Structure 1
Amino acid sequence: MSVDKDDRRDLPAGRKAQLAAYVAETGQVTVGELAERFGVSIDTVRRDLDQLSADGVLVRTYGGAVSLSTISRTDRAVDQRLTLQEQEKEKIATLAAALVQDGSTIMINGGTTTLALARSLRQHRDLTVATNNLLVPAALPPSAVRDIYVFGGAVRSLTLATIGPVSFRVNGGAELDISCDLALIGVGAISADAGYTTSNLAEAAMMQEMLSRATRVAILADSSKFGRRLFAQVSELSSADYLITDTPPPADLREALTASKVELITP
């Protein structure tokens, strides 16, 4: 889709229609990219995106937007993965929710186990949630949440999660220092020697940063993840305070968790 100079002088409604069409075609955009393309200010683009998001035309993210077509394609993939180990994930989610205190600030990463956790916070109140999981905001019970923040960056279609810095910036460009009471992190694999690992390098880096900004860390993983190692290490076992899972792990992993002072939480 091309936008010429005459198009840029259209009424706001016309501009928003063009903007919506461009997001639908591109799939994922940033505020800065749209401001440059349409020759308007960043504040104007933000207002347009907010309105289009409220109208259900696109999904607003921190620093940009994602098209509904992108989400509909990846939602099916997420739904398919939710059917795997479904009961186990629900058990883990219930246990993880018990660690969350009312009025606290939590970070939640991408994945289907953490999505189940978000849905399990019905009894909680006054939570501040920061996440890179684009499905979490809609899954969180409205009564449980005070504020929701979504980290910006590229969107990984397999998990429908952003990959980028664990940070937010003020209008002047300065980075705000953020932290949380509890980070709830789903991982792809756990082993006694490799610790917590995942398949994507950028995801691993983002998860590492979430861990570093948390007072307490809970790793969420079902028993199918035990004794495996994936491409990128997230951290050693000792970086977590808790491992929440559905069944006790094998003896070697149990011993390594005990030596690393990780509390094992199972049903």
Structure 2
Amino acid sequence: MSVDKDERQRHLPAGRKAQLAAYVAEAGQVTVSALAERFGVSIDTVRRDLDQLSADGVLVRTYGGAVSRSTLQRTDRAVDQRLSIQEGEKEQIAQLAAALVDDGSTIMINGGTTTLALARGLSQHRELTVATNNLLVPAALPASAIRDIYVFGGAVRALTLATIGPVSFRANGGAELDIRCDLALIGVGAIAADAGYTTSNLAEAAMMQEMISRADRVAILADSSKFGRRLFAQVSELSAADYLVTDAVPPPALRDALEAAEVELITPGQ
């Protein structure tokens, strides 16, 4: 009895990984258990294949599965979807960014899941004043770390659970109060040497620009999947930031541009 060529190939590591990569690209997002069942191999084998394909840049590993690069590059995804993408990288970035926060300081945090991870990671801090447009941040902040929390008003963008409006507060008489912060922690959607920091929504970009303008220091938070990409709206040029906090060293062209812009690169192991 003859054996189908595709069936034979799927049990060879190189052939299986090629088919697995093609399947993830077609499906967009898959789980380890579904792949193990489809390809007739163990969960550990699938995990090893996914780890290798992720290291090769073919796909992106997530908790319990993988996401295709094309899916990752769709700029507008709901918060619950984005929470599971690059989860480990976001936790690394959050830990590094938390080290930039001084006790007793005032910080601004914008919308996004990387900045949400940062908020959760501030448990060792004390007496912080936090201003944010991220509606998930107040509940995520450790109570022991906080002196005051302020949420910027405006329309709520349901996709990201963040407000879109002016970075301002008004006194009882209606006059706008002048506000500043010691550190703005800004998550962005993309970073490129020529385009700077960009995001997919114009109103969000305007709010991020204003947060940056009101900060003594600025830290951009972005995982390495954002490198070399440009989205619809520019937040700022590279030089507007004091730090780029990320999970991996950027490719040479972007790294050189960051150095020229005097942006301090903060990565694990430094």
Same topology, TM > 0.5: yes
Percentage of pairs with the same residue? 86
Where does 1:109-148 land on structure 2 (aligned, <5 Å)? 109-148=110-149
Distance of 2:80 and 2:166 partners within structure 1: 27
The reply on whether 1:160 has 2:153 as its aligned counterpart is: no
Distance of 1:211 and 1:92 partners within structure 2: 19
The one-letter code sitting in structure 1 at the alignment partner of 2:220 is: I
Where does 1:4-153 land on structure 2 (aligned, <5 Å)? 77-153=78-154
Distance of 1:96 and 1:157 partners within structure 2: 26
- Give the total of aligned pairs: 192
Q: How much does 1:79 deviate?
A: 2.5
The one-letter code sitting in structure 2 at the alignment partner of 1:122 is: S
Aligned residue number for residue 237 of structure 1: 238
Q: Deviations over 1:142-187 (max 9, x none)?
A: 0000000000000001110000000000111100000000000000
Distance of 2:97 and 2:242 partners within structure 1: 12
Distance of 2:89 and 2:154 partners within structure 1: 30
Distance of 1:139 and 1:167 partners within structure 2: 22
Distance of 2:195 and 2:112 partners within structure 1: 20
Unaligned runs of 5+ in 1: 1-75
Q: How much does 1:78 deviate?
A: 1.6
Aligned residue number for residue 27 of structure 1: none
With structure 1 as the length reference, what TM-score do the two structures score? Answer: 0.71
The one-letter code sitting in structure 2 at the alignment partner of 1:228 is: R
Distance of 1:116 and 1:162 partners within structure 2: 18
Q: Which runs of 4+ in 1 moved over 3 A?
A: none
Aligned residue number for residue 33 of structure 1: none
Q: Secondary structure at the match of 2:101?
A: coil
The one-letter code sitting in structure 2 at the alignment partner of 1:121 is: L
Q: Deviations over 1:89-144 (max 9, x none)?
A: 00000000000000000000000000000000000000000000000000000000
Q: Deviations over 1:35-65 (max 9, x none)?
A: xxxxxxxxxxxxxxxxxxxxxxxxxxxxxxx
The reply on whether 1:217 has 2:218 as its aligned counterpart is: yes
Structure having the higher Rg: 2
Distance of 1:127 and 1:163 partners within structure 2: 23
Q: Secondary structure at the match of 2:234?
A: strand
Distance of 2:251 and 2:170 partners within structure 1: 44
Unaligned runs of 5+ in 2: 1-76
Q: Deviations over 1:179-218 (max 9, x none)?
A: 0000000000000000000000000000000000000000
Aligned residue number for residue 17 of structure 1: none
With structure 2 as the length reference, what TM-score do the two structures score? Answer: 0.70
